[in-house]
Amino acid sequence: MSTLIADQTEMKEVGAGHAPHHVLAETDGEASSDISNEVKVGFTASDQRDMQRMGKKQELRRNFRIVSTIGFTTCVMGTWEILLTSNTPGLIAGGRPALFWSLVWAYCGQFFIVLSLAEMASMAPTAGGQYHWVSEFAPRKYQKFLSYASGWLSTISWQSIVALDAYLVGTVVQGLISLNNESYVPTRWQGTLLVFAAAIGMSLFNIFGAKRLPLAEGIFVTCHFFAFIPVIVTLLVLAPKVKAEDVFTGFTDNGAGWPSISLTVMVGQVSSMFVVLGSDSVAHMSEEIENASVVVPKSMIWAFILNIPFAFGLLLSYLFSMPDVQASIDSPTGFPFIYVFHQALKDTAGSTVLVVVILVLLIMITISSLASASRQTFAFARDNGLPFSTWLSSVHPKLHIPVNSILFTCAFSMVMSLINIGSTVAFNALLSLSTVALMATYLICIGCIILRRINNDPPLPPSRWSLGKFGFPVNSMAMIYATWSFFWSFWPNEYQIDAQNFNWACVLFVGLMSISGVVYWVHARKMYDGPVVKVEGRRLA
């Protein structure tokens, strides 16, 4: 394994010089022109070469280092917090064992995806992420369209993740009210208004607190780790316990209604698939990270690994502390974890404190996710991939952040939360949409790099973090898992479907991608060339 993830910092690079670590070479030309001294901070010689090769101008401030970057990625993933708040679909379709074993499978499969993305991020450390990698690695005949499709898919997925996180924040607030006021009857429109407030507040933080975001991420990740202790201690010490066979082998159908328990478990695994996503968020922050071609892949791997013991520690404690699964699902608070906390403590005030801790952590996760989503949108708009690209790709001259993309992300979350007014399964729709769109981007970019490995024409760009001889098998395993996840993400959680419980993710996915097709035919096919045009222009120069 040490060979697999070895740091290849000493690898000879094409055209690499020996500029000091924080000195910007005077010969940079276009890549360094019109960049303020403030933006130059942290702009290393390696970052300079990468930006030159990719044909991009340094517009964002590189103020993230290795620790803050790992903290950022860990916080975006928010594995144990998201697991605690988003497990209802899994409990309904399969019960306790379904949640446990699907998380095991999800972690195993996602690890191959993370390794594959880490290598691509080292080859091309850009805020564009997947759509840029597709543009570089796809067969020449298809690179423009595949890159464009990947850009839309990546935008949809990350915007949906932010919308889902904001949805969780708003509805957990409703759960808190229900916990403290038994006469309160939560309504969906009230939940939507709370989502509005959450999205606006966290967008404002991303705009006016951008300069302090690395410091904030350090605080966030500290809270992420230390808040874990009181939650676990409460569950292990105070909650009633169930038998081990109930947790590991007692599969149950708690309302899904599918013909067999095997099919039920397959349908319920989507919540676990979503929990392990988020490692690639750091790729969209690449242009704000010092020494990105090494730091970004390392952060992906370390954040993914660091979250594993917390995720399984929380899940096992939670499942062993849930004597009545059906009562947890039917809790008037809307969240099984709030019911489990209350059953453990037998005290409303104490339960409220624990839920507030989870709520604060969710807010931190959403702030980080919003930063990543807005950078991805900014990058794709910079390459003319979205409508109103000039507006979306503009960078505030003083804040050095894409303010307009942040505002767009806020608006998207608010619009998506309107689903909650008309459907009881808005959460499931957003969960599935974000998962299926992100898996589609993985399928395209990893498929392209597999083809490039086979044809080797032209050879893959050099990377300072490489999979080496393990590249092809790792990429192949990643493709298998991504295909599996993509397929199951479209299924509804219940067998008997109607307008209320239908998985609207498939409608949203087809609808949004149809819009992208129309935009491509009418406008983008003339305006969008893909990053590869600039990359190849640099090579020829």
Determine phi and psi for 64, rounding to 5 degrees: -100, 135
3-state secondary structure string across 187-239: CHHHHHHHHHHHHHHHHHHHHHCHHHHHHHHHHHHHHHHHCHHHHHHHHHHHC
Residue 411, pLDDT score: 94
Please tell me the distance from the alpha carbon of residue 495 to that of residue 502, in angstroms, as a whole number.
9
Q: What is the biggest distance separating any 2 CA atoms in the chain, rounded to whole angstroms? A: 71
pTM: 0.85
Domain 55-530 has CATH 2.80.10.50: no
Residue 7, pLDDT score: 42
Residue 33, pLDDT score: 43
How many CB atoms are located within 10 Å of the residue 515 CB? 13
Residue 10, pLDDT score: 38
* Structure tokens given for 370: 């919003």
Which stretches of the chain drop beneath a pLDDT of 70? 1-43, 422-424, 533-541
**128: which residues sit within 8 A by CB, 6+ positions away?**
151, 284, 376, 379, 380, 382, 383, 531
Instruction: Tell me which residue of 297, 252, 259 sits closest to 279, measured CA to CA.
Output: 297
Pure H helices in 383-425:
389-392, 403-416, 419-422
Instruction: Tell me which residue of 475, 523, 524 sits closest to 144, measured CA to CA.
Output: 524
Determine phi and psi for 44, rounding to 5 degrees: -80, 170
Please tell me the distance from the alpha carbon of residue 68 to that of residue 217, in angstroms, as a whole number.
6
Name 93's bridge partners.
Answer: 253
Residue 408, pLDDT score: 95
Please tell me the distance from the alpha carbon of residue 220 to that of residue 202, in angstroms, as a whole number.
14
* Structure tokens given for 404: 């307009």
Residue 12, pLDDT score: 36
Residue 21, pLDDT score: 35
Please tell me the distance from the alpha carbon of residue 345 to that of residue 293, in angstroms, as a whole number.
47
How many CB atoms are located within 10 Å of the residue 149 CB? 21
Note if the bond before 186 is cis, omega within 30 degrees.
no
The answer to whether the CB of 301 falls within 8 A of the CB of 5 is yes
The letter for the amino acid at 60 is L
